[in-house]
Structures are given as C-alpha cells and as structure tokens.
Amino acid sequence: TASAPAPAAQPAAPAPTMKKVRKYDMWGTIDHVPYQGARKAVGDLMSKSKQTAPHVTHTDMLDASALKSLRQAEKEKGNTVSYVALVMKAVARALKEHRYLNATLDDENKDIILKNYWSIAFAVDTPNGLYAPVVKRVNQKTAAEVTAEITALAQKALDRSLDPMDMKGSTFTITNVGSVGGLFFTPIINYPEVAILGMGRLHDAPIAKEGQVTVAPLIPLSLSFDHRVIDGAEGARFTAKVMELLQDPASLMEAEDKVG
C-alpha cells in the first residue's frame, strides 16, 4: 500500500537546541524542556479552540481511484499535482455551496461572519513545531499552482523562514497525517475558523462497486466542525460534496474564478 505523500521539501535546517535541565524525581532522572515558542503558541491556540468550540468529527472514506489515475496521467506529462492540492481545490469549491463552514463566529456581537473568499491553511510538521501556512484565494489558482505553493510554503516552514502574513487570512484548514500513518482522527479546529478537514493514510482496501468486490485506493477523511455554527447533517453534506468533486478531479485542475 502507498501513503499519501506530504508536500515535497528539502531537509530542514537544524532546529535550535532547546535548553534542557536534568533533574530527579523519586523514580529516576527527568529532563525539563522549556514550553515556549511555536510549541506554546500552538498549545495556546488548541486549548482555546477546544475550550470555546464544541467539536464534532464526521468521518467518511474517499475512493481515490480517480485521483490516483489523474496524478499518474499528469506525471507522465511531466506535471506534478499533489493529493493535498486536489483536495484543497475540492474543498474551496464545496465551501461556496456550504458557506457556514467558511465562517467565523463573533461571540461579542452575536454574528456568524460568512467569508466571501476561500483561503485554505494546511498543517506542516517541523522539528520546531506545527505551522499552518495559507494558500490564498485557492479558487483563483490552478491545481498545479496550488501544488507549487504548498511545496514552497512547506519548505519555508521547515526553514523557519515563513513571513507572519504567510500564516494569516485562512478561512478553513486541511491537515494531512497520511505520510505518517493512521486512518481516522479528530483534528482540532484552527480557531477562529469553524471547520478543519483531516486526511488519513492512502491505502488499498476491498470495497463494493456495482455489486462486485474490488480493491481500491482509499483516503480516510475526518471533518471536525464547531457545532455552534454547523449542524451534523450540514457537516455530512459538505463532506459528501467534497468527495463527489474528487470523483472528477479533472474538473478541479483549472482556476474557477478570475483574479480581481
């Protein structure tokens, strides 16, 4: 079985050495590592998200046969299109129909703010911690352009050269643990967004198609959302729409909207 590839990137520069303090408890030696920097920033955001938004996670399994075929065809033409980029394109299009997943909740003014732009963050695991750079205006870019931008931003995260603006302006987030392993999980919403889509490991498994059992490449999907803004049925409808769009990945290759 194959794993869903992470964005291609060169090896990161060595992470800065964290000052460890060797101490003892009653059972043996222990190391104290400072809780600071990116780790603390992510921890604070995740804590606020879980304490503020009642999370629900909806799961489904994507038949990735069409995605795999398209990527192979593009590879034979010398083009690179990543799974994450195609999922990102499908998400951006689905968000146009399911607007409450492309929103924030203004508690103070008691408003749900629906965004009229579609900029999607993606999680990057680095030795220095987790980063979520943003592909701006996904609907205005081709799948190849989105792939290239994901690769460039992932490399900047590994190099610790992201500009603060690279991590601002997102309306939705995708997190892909497929290259590490695992199927379904419960991703934490990138607050103040109201939804996040998790991608699990691409793997071959038997499924039923037209009354026959066949082996197909599958990608597990896990959508976490804020139940204050989104009901369970709407989360399921959104996921179904994303999966429907991914059955025709050729329709996701071009930019949908003009720049401007």
Contacts of 181 (CB under 8 A, 6+ apart): 3, 201
The per-residue b/e assignment along 100-134, b for 16 or more CB within 10 angstroms, e otherwise, is bbbbbbeeeeeeeeebeebbbbbbbbbebbbbbbb
> Which residues share a beta bridge with 130?
125
- Of 144, 157, 125, the closest CA to residue 75 belongs to 144
55 has catalytic annotation: no
Single out the catalytic residue among 32, 58, 98, 227. 227
On the CB side of 155, CA atoms within 13 Å amount to 10
Catalytic residue numbers, as ranges? 227
